Chains A and B, each alone.
Chain A
């Protein structure tokens, strides 16, 4: 049995999505900018996808910009909006994805860039944010769901503080781990821009979007033929957009992910007893698809490779950073003890993950844990 529990890294496109992509590639391959009739169909499909995204986020379809994915959307929101300012403060939360962190770090020579700390549960510390907000704050970046811990950020409270202390500041939300999994109302929540990615919700890789509110002015990062209202030039990725549309349409909103996750949590607790730790919020308080926990003293990599032998695939934090061998910045921001951080494993589910798969994974984990706990590293 194969058990894929790394859905926060990427997901397997469903048959329905793959068919939509295939159909678009073979039949709807026309360049949406072309003048003949079939190209119009491509353009209409794009418009439908824009509508679907806008509906989901309570935004205006005219403000949906297709990108190559979450990273480009985050980069465009941050660097594109900051290019209209000189000086001032930029804030990003301590556990932001590198797409946000690296973009903010890159403007350090022009802005006063500061990190908003996390509390021990991996949630943005609102008191610290209150201290950091100044009237000249230009941009605040807070993700909706942390990709490593599943912690849900108090975006409404962040926006309220912003309104009170730095009303001019834009609020950018990296929603890559939340889109379709948590409700979003950009208007009500006071979000100025929102980044999303297709391949985290069973669409193909290479498609994502940035959705903006009325206040955001952006300078383009890719210059060419003026597509996406000149904000993101380059021929549109129509098969990706078709896939994203199909993924949104078919996403099972009613699902039992939380139930599956709580079952996983209970069983892991039983396997490792007092050596079991959750990294992040209480399981029932976090996002339904992510559980980050430690089975001390077995190191993450050891467990991960052992499970790989059983075709059970999990992550040791975020796939984006696993090539850099150090303790994850997110766990470090939460002051996670070293031994616990070194054993951290991230399980991430999809609505299609079954209880049987989880029970199979658990049986493998139990076997490996009982074996490897004997050989504690110093």
Chain B
């Protein structure tokens, strides 16, 4: 008899011939996640099992964050041949519980001498006789004693909901524009959840933004990396483009031209490292640079798809996800971001493409972009 974690996957079931590829990737991601706890991970009969870990709870918390995992249960694995021992173990697991319960058994080993309804009845009866504080309710039970008869018997009560999604790496690679704000880490999370490997680009405008602001972004990236299985952060020196835009371009287009520079630089970094798309945390209408017209102007220079998973979300909805994934508190630290360094008093909210192009024509765009990309610092988390 031993304790282990039983892991279930969700959407992968819908895959056809390439399902083994997704499952293999998921198993690898779980292996990566439990490595610090020395756990063993194996696949058996469309379930993934994790055993022999040093810290069960901490290990479950890690597995819970692996994209592709639908739910997990701390379970007991034991010999299925001695049914009395199985009943005894079930009663032991239920002994501190009060309320209503039922037994739900599944039997993938069809040679097992008892049918599922027989197991339900007999095991339920035994538990009931041993635990006077429990009552049976087969329609709306508060607790379910699950019994799975496979190569062994598996017993579990607690089912922990996991993050869902698809295993990271099965959906290609994209590059996130990561600021210190609330939105961009959430956007990165949303896309990574669909199986996409993420790298991040951060724009650093020293001395307008500080070492602490950079550290804050690295903390956010680190928090994201718990879900994304590691993340590479490109810190781009962005002071020079910002100063030139501020000095030479019309004030009302300042932010928009800055966003276009960010897109150009991020796209170039993305291409260099094999990413096929950019990700931003923009949400329609949130600020002047996030109107449809403004987004058209920034998209025009990206030359690859730009994913904006939060485009239709309200701020409050974004905050809720940020709280759930644990980035909200860090995002709220008050260090200035490069986006707010030279905010125009009256930014253009309905910019016209030709006006913007004319407004930035005075800049040596290629030189500024190349210099920024060349000066980039790479940090692997």
Contacts and interface: CB of A to CB of B under 8 A. Distances in A.
B208 A308 contact: no
Interface size class of B (residues with CB under 8 A): 10 to 19
Contact of B345 (A304, A368, A378): A378
A305 B334 contact: no
Given A308-B207, A309-B206, A378 B341 contact: no
A301 B336 contact: yes
Contacts of A303: 207
Interface in B234-272: 243, 246-247, 251
A375 B211 contact: no
A305 B205 CA distance: 11
Contact of A302 (B207, B211, B333, B344): B207
Contacts of A188: none
A201 B208 CA distance: 32
A183 B243 CA distance: 49
B210 interface: yes
B334 A378 contact: no
Interface centre among A304, A375, A377 (most CB of B within 10 A): A375
A302 B208 contact: yes
Contacts of B243: 375
A375 B336 contact: no
A90 B206 CA distance: 45
Contact of B246 (A304, A325, A375): A375
Binding site secondary structure of chain B? loop
Contact of A324 (B208, B210, B211, B334): B334
Nearest to A306: B207
A301 to B, nearest CB: 7
A324 B251 CA distance: 29
Interface in A354-378: 368, 374-375, 377-378
A308 B343 CA distance: 24
Nearest to A378: B345
A324 B208 CA distance: 17
B37 interface: no
Contacts of A377: 341-342
B334 A325 contact: yes
Contacts of A86: none
Contact of A305 (B208, B247, B344, B345): B208
A378 B345 CA distance: 7
Contacts, number: 39
B377 to A, nearest CB: 15
A324 B334 CA distance: 7
A374 B207 contact: no
Contacts of B336: 301, 325
Nearest to B206: A305
A62 B49 CA distance: 68
Given A325-B334, A378-B251, A378-B345, A305 B210 contact: yes
Given A301-B336, A308-B207, A309-B206, A374 B247 contact: yes
A377 B208 CA distance: 11
Nearest to A372: B207
Interface string B324-346: 00000000011010000111110
Contacts of A368: 207
A374 B342 CA distance: 13
Interface string A110-146: 0000000000000000000000000000000000000
A305 B211 contact: yes
Contacts of B208: 301-302, 305
Given A324-B334, A374-B247, A375-B246, A308 B211 contact: yes
Contacts of B341: 377
Interface string B170-212: 0000000000000000000000000000000000001111110
A301 B341 CA distance: 11
A298 to B, nearest CB: 10
A309 B334 contact: no
Contacts of A306: 207
Given A303-B207, A375-B246, A378-B251, 6 more contacts: A301-B336, A304-B207, A305-B208, A323-B333, A323-B334, A377-B341
Interface of B: 206-211, 243, 246-247, 251, 333-334, 336, 341-345
28 contacts: A301-B207, A301-B208, A301-B210, A301-B336, A302-B207, A304-B207, A304-B210, A305-B207, A305-B209, A305-B210, A306-B207, A308-B207, A308-B211, A309-B207, A323-B333, A323-B334, A325-B334, A325-B336, A374-B247, A375-B243, A375-B246, A375-B247, A375-B342, A377-B341, A377-B342, A378-B251, A378-B342, A378-B344
Interface of A: 301-306, 308-309, 323-325, 368, 374-375, 377-378
Q: Which 6 A-B pairs have the closest CB atoms?
A: A305-B207, A306-B207, A325-B334, A305-B210, A378-B345, A302-B207
